[in-house]
């Protein structure tokens, strides 16, 4: 392991070899492509359920396991009202986070994390009413046409964050 005193020299050598730093923007693109949630972007405490975020497997209704909200979660477990999905947006300016997602003039969800992906173009995460979550369902976000896609359009097994 190099000594701390060698850190600057190492950094300069890496830069000379063509290595470039990776910032939050690049990490956020990978997060959105993989369908990973962020506190207060996708997850709003007290407003959403684990089902809304595709975290069904994290909810247990095992006998003897009691917790606040269990009955409410059990009541919607078979048919959750909302789901987190990826939207593929048409080329152009990105709509802002928090924008309404509409279908046939009715609000069916909220855009949470828009980005321009080098792999997929304009994409975003959105929490949608379950009735609007079918793959290839056409929706609109601030005048932009979008189609609904699987939550994780890249790296569905979430291997990248574990690398």
Query: What is the rounded distance in angstroms from the CA atom of residue 92 to the CA atom of residue 55?
Result: 32
Whether 81 and 109 have beta carbons less than 8 Å apart is answered as no
Whether 146 and 132 have beta carbons less than 8 Å apart is answered as no
Over its length of 163 residues, how does the chain's per-residue pLDDT go in tens digits? 556 778 888 888 988 998 877 788 888 998 999 998 888 888 888 889 999 998 999 999 999 999 999 999 999 999 999 999 999 999 999 999 999 999 999 999 999 999 999 899 999 999 999 999 999 999 999 999 999 999 989 877 767 666 6
Q: Which are the contacts of 145, defined by CB distance < 8 A and separation ≥ 6?
A: 89, 90, 138, 139
Give the predicted TM-score (pTM) of the model. 0.81
């Amino acid at each position: 392991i190099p000594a701390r005193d060698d850190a600057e020299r190492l950094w300069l050598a890496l830069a000379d070899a063509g290595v470039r730093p990776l910032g939050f923007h690049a990490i956020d693109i990978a997060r959105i492509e993989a369908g990973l949630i962020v506190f207060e972007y996708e997850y709003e405490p007290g407003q959403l359920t684990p089902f809304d975020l595709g975290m069904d497997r994290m909810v247990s209704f095992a006998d003897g396991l009691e917790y606040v909200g269990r009955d409410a979660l059990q009541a919607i477990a078979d048919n959750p009202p909302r789901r987190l999905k990826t939207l593929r947006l048409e080329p152009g300016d990105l709509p802002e986070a928090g924008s309404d997602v509409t279908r046939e003039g009715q609000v069916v969800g909220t855009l949470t994390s828009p980005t321009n992906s080098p792999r997929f173009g304009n994409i975003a995460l959105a929490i949608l009413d379950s009735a609007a979550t079918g793959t290839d369902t056409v929706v609109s976000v601030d005048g932009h046409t979008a189609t609904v896609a699987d939550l994780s359009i890249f790296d569905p097994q979430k291997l990248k964050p574990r690398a």
